[in-house]
Structure 1
Amino acid sequence: MLEDPRPPVRPTARALARSAVANHVAETAFELFADRGYESTTVDDICIAAGVSRSSFFRYFPTKEQALLRRVIGFGEEMREALEKRPEVETPWTALRRSLDPLLAIYSTDPDRAMRVAQMLTGTQALAVHHATKVASWRDTLGPEVSRRLGNQSDDPRDPRPGALIAATFGYLDAAIAAWAQGDGALPLAAVLDHAMAAIGSDPT
């Protein structure tokens, strides 16, 4: 394969500055959520602590849910890319499991933080609803590749299998995160997820 002769595209100083501010606001929000509780923390509280205006906050995050979940907002695309790179010999079910590895890596990089976020997700109704909406969008992102792996020439809406496999995968993930949070992270989340997905007894494809 020929190497691309073009130099890599580097982020501009403006983009780096915006990312730094967004990271600062997100970190401030997380610290407040962890200290005061998610529902007891307002956007105004975050703005005061972070030293930004409300308009600046909403320029980076439409909601405070997105400030908390910033690290995984774009995970649907990462999972799709990981899924597309899985060997063709893998069944769709196995490939879906392995495509979760980038998300599991986020949890393993900072397990203490991940545990606090997981506990907030499982214990806060507003966050649970937001998370469910985001997962629904991930299902749409993954659908065409799962359908292709099942032998379909296109993402056929009449075939229930892609949607069923994706829904099952995220169902197992949610169950694993809840169990992992209940167990205070005694086992790696990846091990808990593998244990959960093994409960089906055999590959559903």
Structure 2
Amino acid sequence: MESQTERTAGMTSAITGTTRGIARAAVRAELAQVAFDLFRRNGFDKVTLDDLASAAGVSRSTFLRYFRTKEDAVLGAFDAQGEKLAAALRDRPAAEDDWTALRRAMDCVLDPYRKDPEHSLALAALVRETSALCARHLEKQDGWRATLARSLAERSGSPGPGTLAQTVRAAAALDCLNAALDHWTASDGHSDLDTLLDEAFAVLAT
């Protein structure tokens, strides 16, 4: 039977681990903001890792412990989106068809754009205007496609990688998202992003 001392030690360890995780996330967010500001001011291609470390007041090795590349310093903001989107998709009502469920699940991706449109617009513009960032972001989304297809398969009661049709729908949904974001960015944020995404999905609804 576990002693009180062992239970206390376990709780202390868990709290310490949680505290370290929170502190690391805070440092990571601060470094990402410094990098983002520098990229916007000087241009992504002109900024080096040494420039980023210097602007953040840390060593290059410290910066690299949080971000392996310059691209990661920008695109880290999207890291959790794939799993978050997949979870939202799995939680959609079973009665919804795949296409409707995909559109409604996309609402969780749009939340940051609704809450902070100014920052989100600047981030979207930076990614779309920088070939290295755009390519890396699309690479990340390629992994989301497989995750979404699996979620669609789970909704249909057939766990696995998903059928060809489910994979195509997942890929098309992501294309609709990107097209809507492109138009929203081109409008300088004046267009309604939810409406643009609805219109994009409507094109393929049949």
TM-score, normalisation: structure 1: 0.87
TM-aligned CA deviation for residue 71 of structure 1: 2.0
Distance 1:197 1:38 in 2: 32
21-30 or 117-126, which moves further after superposition?
117-126
Contact 1:22 1:60 (8 Å CA) reproduced: yes
1:174 CA drift (Å): 0.9
Q: Find the counterpart in structure 1 of residue 48 from structure 2.
A: 42
**Which has the greater radius of gyration?**
2
Q: Which runs of 4+ in 1 moved over 3 A?
A: none
**Corresponding residue for 1:3?**
none
Residues 75 and 133 in structure 2, CA contact (< 8 A), matched pair in contact too = no
Gaps of 5+ in 1: 1-6
User: What does 1:165-184 correspond to in 2, within 5 Å?
Assistant: 165-184=169-188
- Aligned equivalents of 1:162 and 1:127: distance in 2? 28
Deviation of the 1:147 alpha carbon? 2.2
Distance in 2 of aligned mates of 1:70 and 1:166: 22
1:11-46: CA deviation from partner (whole Å, max 9, x where unpaired): 632222211211110010111111111222221111
Aligned residues: 193
Native 8 Å contact 1:80 1:142 kept in 2:
yes
1:161 maps to 165
Select the residue among 194, 197, 200 that pairs with 1:193. 197
Q: Which residue of 2 aligns with 1:21?
A: 27
1:67-106 aligned within 5 A:
67-106=73-112
Give the Cα–Cα distance (whole angstroms) in 1 for the partners of residues 130 and 190 of structure 2: 22
Distance 1:156 1:177 in 2: 27
- Assess if the C-alpha contact under 8 Å between 2:146 and 2:161 holds in 1: no
**How far is 1:66 from its partner?**
1.6
**2: CA distance, partners of 1:21 / 1:155:** 38
Give the CA RMSD over aligned residues.
1.9
Q: Which residue of 2 aligns with 1:112?
A: 118
Q: How far did residue 171 of structure 1 move?
A: 0.6
Deviations 1:99-141 (A, max 9, x none): 1111100111111111111112221110111011100111122
- Unmatched 5+ stretches in structure 2: 1-10
Q: Which amino acid aligns with 1:160?
A: L
* 1:56 maps onto 2:62 in alignment: yes
Identical aligned residues as a percent = 38
